[in-house]
Amino acid sequence: MKKTLNIILILLFTALFSACSGNSDKKTADASSSKEAETISASVQSQEPVSAEDKKENPKETASSKNTETSQTENAPAAGIPEKLILGLDASFPPMGYTDENNNIVGVDIDLAKAVCEKLNIEFEAKPIDWASKEMELSTGKITVIWNGMTITEEREEAMEVSRPYIESQLVIAVKKGSDIKTKADLAGKVVAAQSDSSGLFAIQKDEIYPSIKDGTAKEYPDYLTALGDLDVGRCDALIIDSVLINFYMAQKDMNFDILEEKLNAESFGIAAIKGNKELINAIEGALSALAEEGKIAEISNRWFGKDDMIITY
């Protein structure tokens, strides 16, 4: 009996010791876990918190940032105005826009456009194009404006945004000196030339003499200078041309042409942008007015025409 009691006591003592030992291990683990949590918490808390004051914008940095943004806004073109003005032209139309002996594109329109771009704080590029494709070049975005002694017509005003007139001109009939063509009626049976898709071509096509000219149709040329060369050697008998161009060309080249007294049409030159972009046309007109007040327009006119009032100012 005593032996049995001893065995029972030993078993109870062992169970009690195991329980105490388990609790001790749990407390140790819990303490370790608690200590680890406290260490992590301390580590996080050791990072300096962002106070409400720190969250406020730094006045100096904010001012600098706003000044930069303001500067960029002031320098950026307004809505409808591109960062670069790509001017489409027939680069063989002196004095409006043409390629000189140094292969530079120069002329009245080039000087005007450069001055306007400087005023609007935008870049400038002159891009020679096929004049007959000018509206397609504009509509596809390859050029920004057509600015090259372009005659204002109702058709063009319907198809594009066109500026107010800036130069007055006339459509005249040029013939070789000594020609037997003295009046418009004398064009009957003659080879009459004009530039493709030009106001001169449209004018002769609408004229009553048109069905009487040779072959009942005008001989079309891609540019005026080629047509003038053919007129000089007799490949055509007459050329419908802008008075601004022929007068300048004759003065510069001393070529033997006569201008008939009978004119076809009076005309005005304008600047065209894609239909709907009134903002750009308004900006160009505004810049031209400002340049006129500064005397820049008179300077350009005098440089190219020898007169300071050949370019219309508003």
Question: Domain with 252 in it: what CATH number?
Answer: 3.40.190.10
Q: What pLDDT was estimated at residue 190? A: 98
Which residue, 108, 146, 104, is CA-closest to 247?
108
Confirm whether 134 is domain-assigned: yes
Q: How many structural domains are present in the chain?
A: 2
Helix H, strand E, coil C: the string for the chain is: CHHHHHHHHHHHHHHHHHHHHHHHHHHHHHHHHHHHHHHHHHHHHHCCCCCHHHHCCCHHHHHHHHHHHHHHHHHCCCCCCCCEEEEEECCEECCCEEECCCCCEECHHHHHHHHHHHHHCCEEEEEECCHHHHHHHHHCCCCCEEEEEEECCHHHHHHEEECCCCEEEEEEEEEECCCCCCCHHHHCCCCEEEECCCHHHHHHHHCCCHHHCHHHCCEEECCHHHHHHHHHHCCCCEEEEEHHHHHHHHHHHCCCEEECCCCCEEEEEEEEEECCCHHHHHHHHHHHHHHHHCCHHHHHHHHHHCCCCCCCCC
Residues 182 and 223 both lie in one domain: yes
**What is the pLDDT at residue 250?**
85
Q: Of residues 311 and 7, which shows the higher confidence score?
A: 311
Does residue 107 register a pLDDT over 70? yes
Would 289 be classed as within a structural domain? yes
The answer to whether position 30 is within a domain reads: no
Residue 139 lies in a domain: yes
230 and 211 in a common domain: yes
- Are the CB atoms for 268 and 168 separated by under 8 Å? yes
Q: How far apart are CA 186 and CA 294, in angstroms?
A: 48
Query: Do residue 93 and residue 161 come from a single domain?
Result: yes
Question: How would residue 273 be classed by pLDDT, with cut points 50, 70 and 90?
Answer: very high
Cα 158 from Cα 268, distance rounded (Å): 16
Residue 77 burial by Cβ neighbours in a 10 Å radius (0-12, 13-18, 19+): middle
Q: Is residue 7 part of a domain?
A: no
Whether 77 is covered by a domain: the verdict is: no
Distance of CA 180 to the CA centre of its chain: 47
Does 64 score more than 90 pLDDT?
no
Is pLDDT at 5 greater than 80 in this prediction?
A: no
Mean pLDDT of the chain: 82
138, pLDDT greater than 90: yes
Residues 255-276, mean pLDDT to the nearest whole number: 93
Q: Which residue has the higher pLDDT, 292 or 70?
A: 292
Q: Are strands 145-151 and 123-128 parallel, antiparallel or unpaired?
A: unpaired
Whether residue 241 is found in the same domain as residue 272: no
pLDDT recorded at residue 256: 83
Closest by CA position to 162, among listed 275, 31, 310, 312: 275
Share of the chain above pLDDT 90, in %: 70
**How do beta strands 265-274 and 167-176 pair?**
antiparallel
Residue partners of 147: CB distance under 8 A and separation at least 6:
87, 88, 89, 97, 109, 112, 113, 271, 272
Q: What's the confidence (pLDDT) of residue 282?
A: 97
Q: Is residue 178 part of a domain?
A: yes
Cis peptide leading into 165, omega within 30 of 0?
Answer: no
Are 292 and 160 in the same domain?
A: yes
Residues 246 and 199 in one domain: yes
Least confident of 62-76, 79-93, 197-211, 273-287: 62-76
- Pick the range with the lowest mean pLDDT from 75-79, 119-123, 279-283: 75-79
Buried b (16+ CB within 10 A) or exposed e, 243-270: bbbbbbbbeeeebebebbeeebbebbbb
pLDDT reported for residue 158: 96
Q: Are residues 175 and 160 in the same domain?
A: no
Instruction: Check residue 305 and give its pLDDT.
Output: 93
Is there a domain that residue 226 lies in?
yes
Instruction: Give the residue with greater pLDDT, 252 vs 133.
Output: 133
Query: Can you give the pLDDT at residue 45?
Result: 36
- Asked if residue 175 and residue 128 are part of one domain, the reply reads no
Confidence check: pLDDT of 195 > 70? yes
Instruction: Write out pLDDT tens, residues 216-257.
Output: 999 999 999 899 999 999 999 999 999 999 998 888 777 789
Together in a domain, 157 and 287: yes
Residue 252 has a pLDDT of 79
Segment 144-153, tens digit of pLDDT:
999 999 999 9
Answer yes or no: do 282 and 227 share one domain: no
Percent of the chain whose pLDDT exceeds 70: 75
Q: What's the pTM?
A: 0.72
Verify that 202 and 257 share a domain, yes or no.
Answer: yes
Decide which of 74 and 50 is more confident.
74
Same domain, 262 and 273: no
- Of 169 and 42, the structure prediction assigns the larger pLDDT to 169
CA dihedral 57, 60, 61, 63 (to 10 degrees): 90
Query: What tens digit of pLDDT does each residue of 8-60 get?
Result: 334 433 443 344 344 444 433 444 444 443 433 333 333 334 344 443 444 44
Q: Round to whole Å and give the CA distance between 74 and 192.
A: 53
> CA 16 to CA 19: how far, in whole Å?
5
Instruction: Tell me which residue range forms the domain holding 207.
Output: 170-266
